[in-house]
Structures are given as structure tokens and as C-alpha cells.
Amino acid sequence: MASMMQPQIILLKEGTDTSQGKPQLISNINACMAVADVVRTTLGPRGMDKLIHDDKGNTTISNDGATIMKLLDIVHPAAKILVDIAKSQDSEVGDGTTTVVLLAGEFLKEAKPFIEDGVHPQNLIRSYRTASFMAIEKIKELAVSIEGKSLDEKRSLLAKCAATTLSSKLIGGEKDFFAKMVVDAVIAIGNEDRLNMIGIKKVQGGTMRDSFLVNGVAFKKTFSYAGFEQQPKKFLNPKILLLNIELELKSEKENAEIRLSDPLQYQSIVDAEWNIIYDKLDKCVKSGAKIVLSRLAIGDLATQYFADRDIFCAGRVAEDDLHRVAAATGATVQTSVNNVIDEVLGSCEIFEEKQVGSERFNIFSGCPLGQTATIVLRGGADQFIEEAERSLHDAIMIVRRAMKNSTVVAGGGAIDMEISRYLWQHARNIAGKSQLFINAYAKALEVIPRQLCDNAGFDAIDVLNKLRQKHALAAGEGALYGVDINTGGISDSFANFVWEPAVVKINAINAATEAACLILSVDETVKNPKSESAQSDAAGMGRGRGGGGMRGGRGRGMRRR
Ligand code: ADP
Ligand code: MG
């Protein structure tokens, strides 16, 4: 009798929630599709923006996939993967963040019926990987190089690339103005790899067109003391000294204990304090510098001292600004004023303190080392300028990528249609199930042109049929045709300069496929009770099967099919 009683095996802690198998997979796919639906409408030049406000009362208006995904605060464990690929696309190539999420969502959507029919996910994954590999090879083959052109030619080509990126943004109306600015900034920093060498400063007020580019460094005037007004505000070819020390009268009794036996000795201590600071100031002046910047405070005594000697000074300069000045002018930041030799001083052609809108700006231009550029952005609302900054960031990344890799492909869905056709054609020669899976992958790629049409209010079915027909033409005649955003028909995207760097597409397809495969390969989620209590407030978290919610009830649950 006793042998009948099997001991129960307890593997997981009590209260552990596991969900597994097909339903779990389907639920993960649903969650990802719901996420893709959120960013769906932002794709392309006619895409809509999202206004997101959080519980702290911050509002953000954005069209950028990565920004939206970040702010959405998604808690679904599988859907989080999409947030990650959007982020990584943003940091890797800077553009194509909506594309990557949409593609991943679409790959999964196409996979869903197969999973429901009992296809093993590994079969799908294998075919998807093959398809992705082929797609990327095809893109590389179709990419057009802009290498070997003269600088002027390159400049105008790069500007067109930047304009394509900007055309889908809030500042799309002024895309040519900003595209030129972005290209100039990127060319200015040359081969410098550190992106923070392009500063973007935001000044509220004025119109977008009042934005300008400084070939050098610009930053907002720092806090200053009395005496500052008497300092000169413009120099030609000044020497520049950068410091990381305080220039203030310090009472030494804070640093050391001092015992006095005679009140008269007190004076000598005060004198010593004055001597220390005067000594420092004197050394600054003797160095021959006309401009003294410090990361730490420059007090009133120093300010007046410099003013009397026609020297300009600014304290509490932000660290990245100071680094940019150092990179641009060739100065080295000093931590002591002893032994300031000429080599550590920087120089520039013109230094000026200028009024920009309601702010005063310190501007260093004509810097010998180049390597830096600063864009001063103007505009009405704060949210507007911030979105403009994000858009410029996208454009800057694109231009840098295009300059480094210098191959582009036709945008507007042209490249996507072309790969899709290529995969369809290839699939016809495959025997077996994987033909279906590759077809599914090919179909998923059509989401880009379809969504571009949907977002512009065009008849997607009509446009897609036209595109399919064009791309089916022999000898790749129609390979460059994409959605024409102006007429609602189709046109040669390449000839219309709707270009995208090949690397954006390659990275997007790669990342989206990997994410889709990753989600397809998960068939069990285990949630232990401890982590659950930690995020018990995470409302909408899909417990077990059928979960597909997002935090905060933003009105989107599971996608309806
Ligand atoms: P992402 O975050 O993925 O970059 P965007 O909103 O920037 O998303 O949209 C990019 C898509 O819009 C690309 O597929 C690009 O080819 C397309 N696109 C951009 N400008 C145009 C245009 N003028 N005509 C047609 N398509 C365009
Ligand atoms: Mg873009």
C-alpha cells in the first residue's frame, strides 16, 4: 500500500506561476503585436506623433520609435524585447526605430497562424533566419555607393539623406534648412568618433529659422559676479585657459586649525589668504590667457581682478561644454595654475558673448582643431524644441553613418518591396514547409510600404498592387519604386532622393528577425512569487495566459484580428 503513494515532487516555490506551451507563445505574440500597434501610425513622413505624459506631469511629443517605446514603460516581459531592439537600433544607427518594431511585430503576426496550426517554432525560426540572411545579402547587393565623389557632391548627397530622415518629423517643413546644418556639423567634426562633440543647445523663443550652427563651441552664459559687466565681451585670436579649480577667496581656517596667541597675528592670516588667491590670479594673468574658464566657481574678487586686466572669465562651465572647448581650441584643462605653459592654452579666431533670444551665449568660433560644432536651436514651445533636438539627432546619426559606410538604398518602401519579391521568387524553388515560412517572411516585409500608405491616407491595397507589379518587372527595372508620399501613387524613390543608408535597413531587419526568433523560442514563463510582490503594482501585467496588457491602461490591449 505504501508503495502506491508517490512522493510529490516540489520543484518551484509555492505560489510560483508558470504558463507554458502554445498558449504562452500565442500570448507573447499578441503582446508584441499590441506594442507594434502603438508605434504603427508614426511611420513615415505623414506619420502621426504621440503625446505621452507621465505621472510627474512631463509631456513629450515624439515621432521617434525609441523615445515612445522608452516612455511607454512596458511591463510585459516578452514585449520588453521590442523596447530593447528599438533602443539598440537607436544607439547603433540612430534611425529606423519605428521600422524595427513594426517589422518584428509583423514577423510574429505572420508566424501566429502557423503556431496555432501546430507548426514547431524551431522550423519557423530556421526559415526566418535564412530569409533574413538572404534579405541582408540582397540589400548589400542593391546598395549604391556614394564613395569617390567630390566633397561638394557628397555634401549635397548627404543633405538629401538627412532630409529624408527629417521629412517624417515635426520639423519636416524646414528639412532642407536643417539638413544643410546637420551635414555641415557632421563634416565639421570630421573623423571624430565622439558624438558629444556636436552640441545641441536649446533656446526658447524665435522661429525655427533662427536656429544656427556655430563652427566651434557655444554655451549659455554661466552665473557671474559683479565686475563681469566690465570685462570685454569680444576677442580676436585670444588665448584660452581652462581650469578645474576654484578661484575664490577661501578662509583658511576651514582647512586647518590655527592657534593665535596675539590678536595682531590675525592680520597676517588674513593677508595670507588674500595672497593665496592673488597669487593664483596673477599666474592666470601672466599665462597670457585672455579667456579663463573654470568648471568650478570663479568668485567676485577674481571676476573684478580679471575685469581690471581686460580678461574674460566664466565659472561653473558645464563639464561637456568645457571638454568641447578643450577639443576645439586645443587647450588642456588644468588642475593647478602653477606652471601654466603656452602649450596648455587654447586659441580660436573669434570669441564673443552674444545675445540669442533672451539668453546670452558664449561663442567660440573659428577653432583650429575643428572637431566640434554646436547647433543652437530656436523655436516656440519647449516640447517642440525637444522633439526638434531628437529629430536632429536622428539626422546626425544618419549622415555620420552614410559618411562612414557611404552606401544607400531607395526608401519609401522600395527596398522592402524588392527584398520581398526576391524572397517570394526564391521560395518558389524550395520544396517543403519552409517555402510557406519564407513566404510569410516576405509578406511581413510589405508592412513598411503598407503602413506608409495607411499613414498618409492612401489606398494601401491599390498602391501595393502597383508596387508588386512594378517590382515584378524583369531585370529589376522597377526595383527602385516606392510609395510616392506626395501623390498617393508610386514613383522612383531613388530618383526622388528618398534614400536611406543601407546600414539602417540591414540593422533593422537583423534586429527584428532576432527579436522575433527570440520570442518564438520562448514557450514557458515562470514567475516566482518574490519578484511578483516586488512589482505587484505593475497593473495590467498579463498573469499567465492571455496576458498582453500594458501598464497604465493606455487603452490598448490585445490586438483584434
Ligand atoms: P523610423 O523611426 O523607422 O526611421 P520614420 O518615421 O522616420 O521611422 O519613417 C521612415 C520611413 O519613411 C522609411 O521607410 C523611409 O523610407 C520613409 N520615408 C521617409 N521619407 C519619405 C518620403 N519623402 N517619401 C516616401 N517615404 C519616405
Ligand atoms: Mg526615421
**How many CB atoms within 10 Å of residue 434?**
17
64 belongs to the catalytic site: yes
Residue-level pLDDT at 276: 87
| Options 42, 98, 407, 525, the catalytic residue | 98
Handedness of CA 158, 164, 167, 169 (dihedral sign): negative
Q: Which of 88, 164, 408, 486 to mutate to test the pocket of ligand 1 (most atoms within 8 A of CB)?
A: 164
DSSP H or E stretch at residue 62: strand 59-62
Q: Using the 8-state DSSP alphabet, how is residue 298 labeled?
A: B
Active site residue 17: no
- R_g over Cα of the chain: 30
Q: What is the mean pLDDT of residues 253-281?
A: 83
Atom of ligand 1 nearest to the CA of 416: 14
* 8 A C-beta contact, residue 72 and residue 127: no
Is 97 catalytic? The answer is yes
Nearest residue to 77 (alpha-carbon basis) of 553, 561, 522: 522
Measure the N-to-C terminal CA separation of the chain; round to a whole number of Å. 54
Which ligand is closest in space to the CA of residue 498? 1
pLDDT of residue 271: 86
DSSP secondary structure, 300-355, as one string:
HHHHHHHHHTT-EEE-S--HHHHHHHHHHH----BS--TT--GGG-EE-SEEEEEE
- For ligand 1, what atom is nearest to the CA of residue 412? 26
Ligand closest to the CA atom of residue 395: 2
**Distance from the CA of 52 to the center of ligand 1, in angstroms?**
22
Question: What is the distance in A from the centroid of ligand 2 to the CA of 47?
Answer: 10
The best mutation among 452, 481, 487, 494 to test binding of ligand 1, ranked by most ligand atoms within 8 Å of the C-beta, falls on 452
Instruction: Tell me which residue of 144, 136, 140 sits closest to 441, measured CA to CA.
Output: 136
C-alpha span between 502 and 507 (Å, rounded): 9
Mind listing the pLDDT tens digit for each residue in 451-479? 999 999 999 999 999 999 999 887 778 88
Q: How far is the CA of 407 from the centre of ligand 1 (A)?
A: 17
The confidence band for 194, taking pLDDT boundaries of 50, 70 and 90, is low
454 contact partners, CB below 8 Å, separation of at least 6? 41, 460
User: Tens digits of per-residue pLDDT, 55-70?
Assistant: 888 888 888 888 888 8
Ligand 1 contacts (CB < 6 A) are 42-45, 47, 63, 65, 95-99, 164, 167-168, 411-412, 448, 452, 483, 485, 498, 500
Q: What CA–CA distance (Å, rounded) separates 123 from 276?
A: 77
Q: Are 280 and 253 in contact (CB under 8 A)?
A: no
Q: What is the pLDDT of residue 192?
A: 61
Q: Please compute the mean of the pLDDT values over residues 258-274 and round it to a whole number.
A: 83
Question: Is the confidence at residue 551, as pLDDT, over 50?
Answer: no
Q: What pTM was computed for the model?
A: 0.72
Residue 4's pLDDT band (boundaries 50, 70, 90)?
A: low
Residue 561: pLDDT over 50? no
Give the contacts of 325 (CB within 8 A, at least 6 positions apart). Answer: 217, 240, 242, 293, 317, 331, 346, 364
Q: How far is the CA of 374 from the centre of ligand 2 (A)?
A: 22
